[in-house]
Amino acid sequence: MSLTKIENTSIRFGSENYSQEWITIEEYNRVKTILESYSDEQKRSIIHAVTDRPMSFLEIAHACKIPLASCHRKIYSLIEEGLLVGERSNLRIKSKRYRSTFKEMRINVKKDTIIVGVKQHLD
The secondary structure element, H or E, covering residue 36 is helix 28-39
Burial (CB count <10 Å: 0-12, 13-18, 19+), residue 121? buried
Provide the pLDDT for residue 13: 32
The contacts found for 53-62 with CB under 8 angstroms, 24 or more apart, are 53/99, 54/13, 54/87, 54/89, 54/97, 54/98, 54/99, 55/97, 55/98, 55/99, 56/95, 56/96, 56/97, 56/98, 57/95, 57/96, 57/98, 60/98
pLDDT score, position 63:
96
The reported pLDDT for the residue numbered 122 is 59
| The predicted structure's pLDDT at residue 106 | 83
C-alpha R_g of the chain: 14
Residue ranges covered by each domain of the chain: 11-120
Fold of 11-120: Arc Repressor Mutant, subunit A (1.10.10)
The pLDDT score that the predictor gives to residue 79 is: 94
Q: Element (H or E) spanning 110, and its range?
A: strand 102-110
> Along the chain (123 residues), what's the average pLDDT of each consecutive run of 10 residues?
41 40 82 90 94 92 96 95 82 77 83 78 59
Q: What is the model's pTM?
A: 0.73
